[in-house]
Amino acid sequence: MSNSVRSPVAGLRNVSREDMLVHGHGACPGCGYAVTARNIAKILGPDTVVYVPASCLAVFSALYPTSAWKVPFLYTAFENTGAVITGLKAAYRRRGIDANVVGMAGDGGTFDIGLQALSGAAERNEDVIYVCLDNEAYMNTGIQRSSATPFGAWTTTTPAGLEVQGNRRFKKDIAAIVAQHDVPYVATLSVAHFTDFVKKVEKAKAMSGFRFLHCLTPCVPGWRIEPSKGVSIDRLAVETGMWTLYEVENGVPRVTYRPRKMLPVTEYLGLQGRFKHISEEDVRTLQSWLCRKWKVHYGEEVEEPPCVISRRDEGLGHDGDPLHGL
């Protein structure tokens, strides 16, 4: 399996100041998609070709005839990311051009509708970078549940009703699924841990073969959060175990950040209106699942921290929210 290095990992100080995704796009204030895509594109640099399937990123960054991209940008159907970036890389190779071909897809286009094309590209070890911008639902089409949606979360297809309170399934571990394809590099990222973020993107850029970057990207309207809280919520996701930072390089897993202790999951849930309805029973269920996940990733047993459901801000509601309505 190819794992050749094209150039040394530059590190945080040497990241270019030139943006490849520039101002003037139409993302919501505080959009996790925009922040993550902008920084990944900046690190990859001008010798990059970006493909985006149906998603928020396609809509806010390049509505015809305008574009906020300073690099070549392509857009086709929802399910095609793995196939399209495979073809793009082959076309550039045929012309003798060594470009960074990157696909940036959402969780719906990665976990669900695009899983077949993703698996095919990974299995063939195509020389591309696949970025999953994970905001944990089909946000662009109306906040419908995906297999990335966490347990208990409200979406428009998993409402908080009298019989069922939000999503009943746990989040699919897509990074582990891709790693099982024996690809050179898989990593999870958070913009709240920016040094770790930069190192992983730089490493993916320097390697060859199939590389998969899985990024947690808070969504202001979908998560029912304040626009200024995205990075704080991203950080709390890591500290509570809702998101773990690790990489798998040539089949060898390595934790890249380990919290000193597990914070109660309610610290994370309480800032998001999509969990406003959650019951004490569901909090305990989610906390128990996180403790098991913690043991898998960090190799230690943890006692379940006390979970106290605090009163939510009334401005972070579900349907009819004056700040974040549909």
User: Is residue 43 assigned to a domain?
Assistant: yes
Query: Does the residue 96 lie in any domain?
Result: yes
pLDDT of residue 17: 80
In a domain? residue 188: yes
| pLDDT tens digits, 10-32 | 566 667 789 999 988 999 999 99
Tell me if 64 is assigned to some domain.
Answer: yes
The pLDDT of residue 314 is above 70? no
Identify the weakest region by mean pLDDT among 12-16, 43-47, 97-101: 12-16
Contact predicate 248/210, CB 8 Å: no
Q: Tell me the three state secondary structure of residue 287.
A: helix
Average pLDDT, integer, range 97-109: 96
Q: Which of 25-34, 79-88, 287-296, 312-321 has the lowest mean pLDDT?
A: 312-321
321 vs 47, higher pLDDT: 47
Q: Is residue 118 part of a domain?
A: yes
Contacts 24+ apart (CB under 8 A), 304-312: 305/262, 305/263, 305/264, 306/264, 307/264, 307/265, 307/266, 307/280, 307/283, 308/264, 308/266, 309/266, 309/269, 309/270, 309/278, 309/280, 309/283, 310/266, 310/270, 312/270, 312/273, 312/276
* Residues in CB range of 110: below 8 A, 6 or more apart: 81, 118, 130, 132, 134, 148, 174
Residue range 196-244, pLDDT digits in tens: 999 999 999 999 999 999 999 999 999 999 999 999 999 999 999 999 9
Does residue 308 form part of some domain?
A: no
- Identify the pLDDT of residue 194: 95
Least confident of 149-158, 160-169, 236-245: 160-169
Number of domains in the chain: 1
Q: Report pLDDT for 5.
A: 47
Q: What is the per-residue pLDDT for 13?
A: 66
CATH at residue 110: 3.40.50.970
Residue 165 lies in a domain: yes
Dihedral sign for Cα atoms in the order 134, 176, 119, 88: positive
Average pLDDT value over all residues in the chain: 90
Domain that holds residue 169: 12-298
Instruction: Classify residue 5: in a domain, yes or no.
Output: no
Q: Residue 7 pLDDT > 60, yes or no?
A: no
Give the pairing type, strands 100-106 and 48-52: parallel
